[in-house]
Every structure is written in structure tokens, then in C-alpha cells.
Amino acid sequence: MDNFKKTVAENITKLRTLSGMTQAQLGEKLSYSDKSISKWERGEGLPDAYVLKSMAEVFGVSVDYILSEHSDDEKPKVLHPRSYSASVISTIAFIGTWTLALFAFVITWLCSMPTWLIFVYTVPVSLIVMLVLNSIWGVGKVNMFIISGIVWGIITSVYLTFYDRNWWPLFIVGVPVQIIIILSFYIKKNRKK
């Protein structure tokens, strides 16, 4: 293995372990198999420029950092340190959504026309917020449950809004939609070797 491949291999390994990721987790973020990550970390191959750019974004370093030699005790210079906690931001967004719903309910109550359906409508809205945040920071597989909740929340909201019209068949429509959601999450990406 030449020096350059060895340098890149060591840097990928160091960045991955410092980030607390397994090879499989890094592979999932890059849409590659853990075998590819292992190959790069052994210096048996090099990722292409696009993958290097994606990898640099995942680790928060420059591409140059991945390609350059460093001393063993040198810590990576992070380009965009994350000083926030994704779970705290997600919790604030979730609570904020429900606080707005409560505020709207109190206003309608003070105007002598309380609308409890506000809370029913807030379920899919808060799940949409969680879907966006989970897509940014979270585990993609959880999105299946969030999307299912959004679909059933919307169906329930429409049903309860027009309860007097007997729109129960809407729930029948939800069954094939649920099947489509489940099947779509089992479609495998073509992973590059």
C-alpha cells in the first residue's frame, strides 16, 4: 500500500472512530456498504471525489484533512462544530408545536367558540415537524413510523371534522396507503461496491 492510500485509510478510520460510528453506520450515511468502508480503511482502495466530499461533510472536516498526513495526537480541525443537541432541538420543536395549538385553543375558548379539533390537527402537524428533524439528524428507518402517523392523523382529522357526514370509509383508504409506506421502506438502494 502506498503512502497516500495509507494516509487516507488512517484518516478515515480515525474520523469514524472519533465520531463513534461503525463502518456500517458510515456506509449508510454515504450509501455504500460496510465492505467498501472496510476496504478504504485497509488502504485497498480510495473513495471517489464525490464520496470524499460527502465524508468530509459527515465528519465536519475539509476534504484536504482526509487527504493529508497528521500526527497521531493531532485532533481534527472541525469546520462546523455542532454545539447543539439534536434531541433538545427536536423536543423544543415538538413542544413548541403543541404550545401553539394550546394557544389557539385558549383564544377560541376566550372567544366562546372552543375548538378541541385544534389538538387533533396538531398531531399530523407535529409529526411533520418530527419527520423533517428526524430526516436531518435521526435514523431513516424511524421515518416509516412517523409517516404512518401523519397519514393516520390526517385521515382521523378529516373524519372528525366531517363526523356528521359519516366519512368512515376514509379509514379503508388508509390501509393500502399504509401498505405502500411499509413496502417503500423495504426498497433497497443499489449500493456501490
Cβ neighbours, 10 Å, residue 185: 14
Q: How confident is the model at residue 79 (pLDDT cuts 50, 70, 90)?
A: low
Per-residue pLDDT, 69: 86
Residue 179, Cα to own-chain centre: how many angstroms? Answer: 22
Cα-based torsion angle of the residue sequence 38, 43, 47, 53 in order, rounded to the nearest 10 degrees: 100
- The DSSP secondary-structure symbol of 68 reads S
C-alpha distance from residue 128 to each of 38, 124, 134 (Å) = 36, 6, 10
Distance CA 182, CA 184 (A): 6
Per-residue pLDDT, 49: 87
Per-residue pLDDT, 19: 82
Q: Which sequence spans correspond to the domains of the chain?
A: 3-67, 86-184
Across 25-34, 68-77, 104-113, least confident range: 68-77
Q: What is the pLDDT of residues 127-170, one digit of tens each?
A: 999 998 888 776 677 889 999 999 999 999 999 988 888 888 88
C-alpha distance from residue 8 to each of 3, 19, 44, 92, 123 (Å) = 9, 16, 11, 39, 47
Confirm if 90 and 130 have CB atoms less than 8 A apart. Answer: yes
Q: What percent of the chain has pLDDT over 70?
A: 89
* The C-alpha cell that represents 65 in the structure block: 484533512
Q: How confident is the model at residue 177 (pLDDT cuts 50, 70, 90)?
A: very high
Per-residue pLDDT, 170: 87
Top-level CATH class of 3-67?
A: mainly alpha
What is the mean pLDDT of the segment spanning 113-129? 92
Average pLDDT of the chain, as a whole number: 85
Residue 39, C-beta contacts closer than 8 angstroms, at least 6 positions apart? 45
Q: What percent of the chain has pLDDT over 90?
A: 35
